[in-house]
């Protein structure tokens, strides 16, 4: 049963509309909700070896009580599981379980499990129905919303995949209690991003409620729900990223360069930490281009720092200098005639897509940022 306290965020995509339910204890209540909304008798639950021991039994029992038999498929935790090899294992397991097209694949875990299981669901039998049960903050506010799925290749991250919208998303905010604090903070950078894109009122609210959000309860639930509304609104405008969806990359151009420069080593930097630094850099760079004020950049920096996130490239030991970072930026982007597309801002909540940012301006900004 869904409870009165669950928040429902509809994602209105023509022909593929679905709901995101956000609430405490949803994993233990998932069976009745899935039975009522999806109506199937068989499922696979894809999870990883960190999340499985914590929540798999609760989820499987809840499904069983609703008459849904579930086959577990457990992969190793971490980005390494977004590979062709692990995709093949998952696809094999779904076929070995003799799941039919109308049966469901449930992704129980963080963004890695969601992207991998979603991709498998998208290609097995030309597309199986798929339910997201995200358990990391990043997955609840970002990767489970919008239907992008996929894996990494040696040519780069997320280069192979499909758009495959879930039939339902169940975000249990109490499951975040077991998430390591560092991972929680990393997901929080994406929450802050939504305020900075076009919701200055949300950013104000985050400034007042940050500690409560980290603690859990009502404020956390509200932050997750509002983030889902923000992302859903962007995805509804531009499902296949031909325009506005690019705004979701605020902070990500600098962020991706920092991740690449640290060899995607999570011991040095996780994605959300790179985004935190990238958000501050995007605001500082916009100020330097006389688009926004340094006061706004200072506000963003203070907020992220207080959340325990790194806010400057200087926080990462052993980074390459401006030239090295420039190369990673060029790899991440199509550089056309020395100009780059960046998400810049006119102030808090006023981000926009800037299509011809001179590479030379970025380079001198990086030189200043990496100077001691």
| Residues with a known catalytic role | 126, 148, 190, 231, 241, 245, 249, 252, 256, 271
User: β-pairing, 18-23 with 42-48?
Assistant: unpaired
The residue (of 176 and 362) whose beta carbon lies closer to ligand NAD is 176
Task: Give the one residue of 41, 91, 97, 183 binding ligand NAD; rule: CB under 6 A.
Answer: 183
Token pair of 35 as six digits? 């039975």
Task: Give the one residue of 110, 166, 313, 347 binding ligand NAD; rule: CB under 6 A.
Answer: 110
Q: How many angstroms separate the CA atoms of 32 and 64, rounded?
A: 10
Touching ligand NAD, residues 259-278 (CB under 6 A): 271
Q: How many angstroms separate the CA atoms of 315 and 153, rounded?
A: 29
Total residues binding ligand NAD (CB under 6 A): 29
Touching ligand NAD, residues 211-270 (CB under 6 A): none
Per CB under 6 A, 47 contacts ligand NAD: no
CA dihedral over 331, 332, 334, 335, signed as positive or negative: negative
Task: Give the one residue of 32, 79, 123, 359 binding ligand NAD; rule: CB under 6 A.
Answer: 79
* Other Cβ atoms within 10 Å of 356 Cβ, number: 11
Nearest-CA neighbor of 73 among 39, 49, 104? Answer: 49
What's the min distance (Å) between Cβ of 165 and ligand NAD?
Answer: 11
Touching ligand NAD, residues 290-349 (CB under 6 A): none
Task: Give the one residue of 53, 78, 102, 338 binding ligand NAD; rule: CB under 6 A.
Answer: 78
CA max distance for the chain: 62
What's the min distance (Å) between Cβ of 142 and ligand NAD?
Answer: 4
Per CB under 6 A, 122 contacts ligand NAD: no
Per CB under 6 A, 153 contacts ligand NAD: no
Per CB under 6 A, 138 contacts ligand NAD: yes
48, 74 contact by CB (below 8 A): yes
What torsion, rounded to 10 degrees, do the Cα atoms 42, 84, 76, 176 define? -70
Task: Give the one residue of 59, 121, 139, 307 binding ligand NAD; rule: CB under 6 A.
Answer: 139
The residue (of 161 and 313) whose beta carbon lies closer to ligand NAD is 161
Q: How many angstroms separate the CA atoms of 259 and 265, rounded?
A: 8
Q: How many angstroms separate the CA atoms of 204 and 45, rounded?
A: 38
Q: How many angstroms separate the CA atoms of 202 and 230, rounded?
A: 10
| Of 6-14, 46-54, 85-93, 232-240: span binding ligand NAD (CB under 6 A) | 46-54
Task: Give the one residue of 21, 112, 277, 304 binding ligand NAD; rule: CB under 6 A.
Answer: 112
What's the min distance (Å) between Cβ of 21 and ligand NAD?
Answer: 17
What's the min distance (Å) between Cβ of 116 and ligand NAD?
Answer: 9
What's the min distance (Å) between Cβ of 342 and ligand NAD?
Answer: 19
Q: How many angstroms separate the CA atoms of 30 and 65, rounded?
A: 10
87, 120 contact by CB (below 8 A): yes
DSSP 245: G
Per CB under 6 A, 50 contacts ligand NAD: yes
134, 99 contact by CB (below 8 A): no
Backbone angles phi, psi at 292, to 5 degrees: -135, 175
Tell me if residue 217 falls in helix, strand or coil: coil
List residues near ligand NAD by CB under 6 A: 48, 50-51, 54, 77-79, 82, 109-113, 115, 135-136, 138-139, 142-143, 146, 148, 158, 175-176, 178-179, 183, 271
């Amino acid at each position: 049963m869904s409870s009165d306290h669950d928040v429902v965020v509809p994602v209105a995509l023509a022909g593929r509309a679905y709901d995101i339910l956000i609430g405490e204890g949803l994993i233990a209540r998932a069976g009745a909700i899935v039975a009522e909304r999806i109506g199937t008798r068989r499922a696979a639950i894809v999870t990883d070896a960190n999340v499985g021991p914590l929540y798999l039994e609760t989820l499987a029992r809840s499904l069983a009580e609703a008459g849904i038999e579930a086959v577990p498929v457990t992969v190793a935790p971490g980005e390494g599981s977004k590979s062709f090899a692990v995709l093949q294992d998952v696809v094999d397991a779904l076929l070995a379980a003799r799941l039919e097209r109308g049966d469901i694949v449930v992704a129980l875990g963080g963004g890695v499990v969601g992207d991998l299981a979603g991709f498998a669901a998208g290609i097995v039998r030309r597309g199986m129905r798929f339910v997201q049960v995200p358990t990391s903050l990043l997955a609840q506010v970002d990767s489970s919303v919008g239907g992008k799925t996929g894996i990494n290749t040696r040519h780069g991250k997320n280069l192979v995949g499909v758009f495959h919208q879930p039939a339902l998303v169940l975000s249990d905010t109490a499951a975040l209690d077991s998430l390591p604090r560092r991972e929680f903070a990393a997901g929080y950078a994406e929450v802050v991003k939504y305020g900075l894109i076009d919701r200055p009122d949300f950013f104000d609210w985050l400034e007042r409620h940050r500690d409560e959000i980290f603690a859990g309860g009502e404020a956390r639930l509200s932050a997750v729900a509002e983030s889902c509304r923000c992302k859903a609104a962007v995805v509804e405008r531009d499902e296949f990223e031909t325009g506005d969806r690019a705004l979701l990359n605020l902070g990500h151009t600098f962020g991706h360069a920092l991740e690449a420069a640290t060899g995607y080593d999570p011991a040095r930097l996780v994605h959300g930490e790179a985004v935190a630094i990238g958000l501050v850099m995007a605001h500082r760079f916009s100020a330097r281009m006389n688009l926004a004020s340094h006061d706004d950049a200072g506000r963003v920096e203070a907020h992220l720092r207080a959340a325990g996130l790194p806010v400057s490239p200087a926080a990462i030991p052993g980074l390459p200098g401006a030239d090295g970072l420039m190369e990673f930026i060029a790899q991440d982007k199509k550089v056309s005639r020395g100009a780059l597309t960046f998400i810049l801002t006119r102030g808090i909540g006023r981000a926009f897509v800037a299509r011809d940012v001179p590479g030379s301006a970025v380079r001198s900004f990086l030189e200043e940022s990496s100077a001691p």
